[in-house]
C-alpha cells in the first residue's frame, strides 16, 4: 500500500525521511560541505531539452542494451552504497534480489555490511566495488577473494583519496564508528518501523561488520579502529591500478572519473570501463556534475564503456545521459530509500518506474531503440552566463 503512493523516484525521499531515524536519513541524503555538487548534479539535467521527432512508428520499443558483453533489460543499474544493511533489513541482499529480478546490474559496496560471498550467491551477475587497500599485500588478498566469490566485474572507486567533509553527519549525530547515544535511541523510538523492522532484526544476527574491507572479515561498525580497517588511501596512484589490472582477469571498471585525461589514463592502464561520477556530491564539494563532464570524457575513452551516475531520477535523465555519450547509468539514493521502506518489492517497483519512464520517453522522442539515441536529439537550454 505504501508503494502505491510512490509514483516516481523523487517520491521516495519524502517517504524515507519519515521512515528512517534522522542520522541515517542524513547519512544517505547528505553530501559534502555546501551541497553544491549535489544540487549541480540535478540542475545539469535541466540544461538540456529534447527535440523530439514525430510520426516514426514507435510501436515496437525496447530499453534492452548490451554492456561489457552482458545483455541487460535497461540501461541503468544500482550504484554501490555502503552500510545499506543498516538502512534496510538485509539491504544489500534486497538490492541484489531486485536487480536480479529486473535483469540489471547491482554493484556491491566495498563498505557493505554483508559478506560479498552471500550477495554473489543471491545474484551471480552482481559487480563488486572495492576501496583499494593501502598495502600491496592487502590488495592482492582482496582481489583474490573477489575472484573466488565469483564476481566477473570489479569496480575500483578512485574519488576517495582523503575522507570527505560531511557536516550533515555531525549535525545529525551519524559517525563511523557508529556510537550508540541517547539521541540515537530517542530518534529510534520515534521511528518504530525502522527500529523493530530493521535494526533489532539486524542485531538478532549479531553486531554488523564491514565484511568486505579485508581478505577475511573487517571490523564491527562500533569498533574504534574501524577507519583503520579501511587503510590509508592518500598515497594511491595509477601504479596501484596497474597492479590490480595484473591481478584481476575479469572486467575492470574505474569509478569517479571527471577529467578526460584521467579517462585516457584509465584506458592506458587497462580499464574496460569508467563511471563518470562525483560520488553523488559526497566527496569534493564543487566537483563538476557528471552530466557536464561526460561529453569530453567520452571523447577520450577509447574503446572503454562509459557509464555515469549522480542525480539520475527520471527516464528522461537516462536518455539525456545516453545522448551526451554515456552508454549506461547508475542510480544511488532513491533505490536505497526504496529498499528501506519497501524491501525487495520496493526496489523492484522503483526500477520498474524508471524503466517504464525510459520506455515511454524513448517513444516520445520518436525512437524505438537505445542505439538510436544520439547527441542531435538535445539542444542546450543553459541560461546565458
Residues that bind ligand FNR (CB under 6 A): 28, 41, 79-82, 109-111, 129, 157, 255, 277, 279-280, 282, 309-312, 331-333, 336
Count the Cβ atoms, other than its own, within 10 Å of residue 196. 11
Least Å distance between CB 78 and ligand FNR?
9
Helix residue spans in the chain (DSSP H): 11-19, 22-29, 36-43, 84-87, 91-102, 116-122, 136-148, 167-172, 182-189, 192-194, 201-203, 226-230, 238-247, 260-268, 290-299, 315-323, 333-364
* Cell, residue 227: 577507519
The total number of residues shown for the chain amounts to: 385
Nearer to ligand FNR, 194 or 367 (CB): 194
Residue showing the smallest CB distance to ligand FNR in the complex: 332
Residues 373 and 368: their CA atoms lie apart, in Å, by: 9
- Nearer to ligand FNR by Cβ, of 159 and 187: the residue is 159
Beta bridge partners of 65: 72
Q: Which is catalytic among the residues 209, 240, 279, 300?
A: 279
* Dist CA 84 CA 79 (whole Å): 11
C-beta of 110 vs 343, nearer to ligand FNR: 110
User: Comparing C-alpha atoms, which of 290, 358, 349 is closest to residue 75?
Assistant: 358
| 279 catalytic residue (yes or no) | yes
Provide, rounded to whole angstroms, the least separation between the CB of residue 57 and ligand FNR. Answer: 34
The residue (of 107 and 367) whose beta carbon lies closer to ligand FNR is: 107
Residues 6+ apart with CB under 8 A from 321: 291, 294, 308, 312, 329
* Residue number, 74 or 367, with CB nearest to ligand FNR: 74
- CA separation for the pair 292, 332 (Å, rounded): 19
CB 328 within 8 A of CB 309: no
Distance of closest approach, residue 27 Cβ to ligand FNR, in angstroms? 6
CB of 333 to ligand FNR, least distance (A): 4
CB of 363 to ligand FNR, least distance (A): 25
**Among all residues, which ones are annotated catalytic?**
279
Amino acid at each position: 500500500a505504501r508503494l502505491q503512493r510512490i509514483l516516481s523516484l523523487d517520491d521516495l525521499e519524502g517517504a524515507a525521511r519519515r521512515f528512517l531515524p534522522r542520522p541515517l536519513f542524513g547519512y544517505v541524503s547528505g553530501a559534502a560541505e555546501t551541497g553544491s555538487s549535489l544540487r549541480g548534479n540535478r540542475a545539469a539535467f535541466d540544461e538540456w531539452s529534447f527535440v523530439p521527432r514525430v510520426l516514426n512508428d514507435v510501436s515496437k520499443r525496447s530499453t534492452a542494451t548490451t554492456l561489457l558483453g552482458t545483455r541487460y533489460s535497461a540501461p541503468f543499474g544500482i550504484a554501490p552504497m555502503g552500510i545499506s544493511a543498516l538502512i534496510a533489513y538485509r539491504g544489500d541482499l534486497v538490492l541484489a534480489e531486485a536487480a536480479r529480478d529486473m535483469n540489471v546490474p547491482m554493484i556491491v559496496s566495498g563498505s557493505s555490511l554483508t559478506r560479498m560471498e552471500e550477495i554473489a550467491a543471491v545474484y551471480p551477475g552482481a559487480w563488486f566495488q572495492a576501496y583499494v587497500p593501502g598495502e600491496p599485500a592487502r590488495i592482492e588478498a582482496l582481489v583474490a577473494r573477489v575472484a573466488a566469490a565469483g564476481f566477473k566485474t570489479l569496480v575500483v572507486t578512485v574519488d576517495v583519496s582523503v575522507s570527505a567533509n560531511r557536516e550533515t553527519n555531525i549535525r545529525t549525530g551519524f559517525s563511523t564508528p557508529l556510537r550508540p547515544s541517547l539521541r540515537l535511541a530517542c530518534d529510534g523510538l520515534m521511528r518504530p518501523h525502522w527500529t523493530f523492522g530493521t535494526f533489532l532484526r539486524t542485531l538478532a544476527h549479531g553486531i554488523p561488520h564491514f565484511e568486505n574491507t579485508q581478505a577475511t572479515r573487517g571490523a564491527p561498525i562500533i569498533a574504534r579502529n574501524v577507519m583503520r580497517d579501511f587503510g590509508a588511501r592518500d598515497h594511491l596512484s595509477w601504479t596501484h591500478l596497474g597492479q590490480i589490472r595484473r591481478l584481476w582477469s575479469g572486467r575492470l571498471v574505474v569509478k569517479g572519473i571527471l577529467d578526460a585525461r584521467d579517462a585516457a589514463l584509465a584506458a592506458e592502464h587497462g580499464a574496460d570501463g569508467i563511471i563518470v561520477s562525483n560520488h553523488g556530491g559526497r566527496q569534493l564539494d564543487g566537483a563538476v556534475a557528471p552530466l557536464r563532464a561526460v561529453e569530453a570524457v567520452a571523447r577520450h575513452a577509447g574503446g572503454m564503456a562509459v557509464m555515469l551516475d549522480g542525480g539520475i531520477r527520471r527516464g528522461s535523465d537516462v536518455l539525456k545521459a545516453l545522448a551526451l555519450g554515456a552508454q549506461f547509468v547508475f542510480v544511488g539514493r532513491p533505490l536505497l530509500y526504496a529498499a528501506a521502506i519497501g524491501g525487495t518489492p520496493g526496489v523492484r517497483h522503483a526500477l520498474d518506474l524508471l524503466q517504464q519512464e525510459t520506455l515511454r520517453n524513448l517513444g516520445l522522442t520518436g525512437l524505438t531503440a537505445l542505439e538510436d539515441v544520439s547527441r542531435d536529439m538535445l539542444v542546450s537550454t543553459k541560461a546565458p552566463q
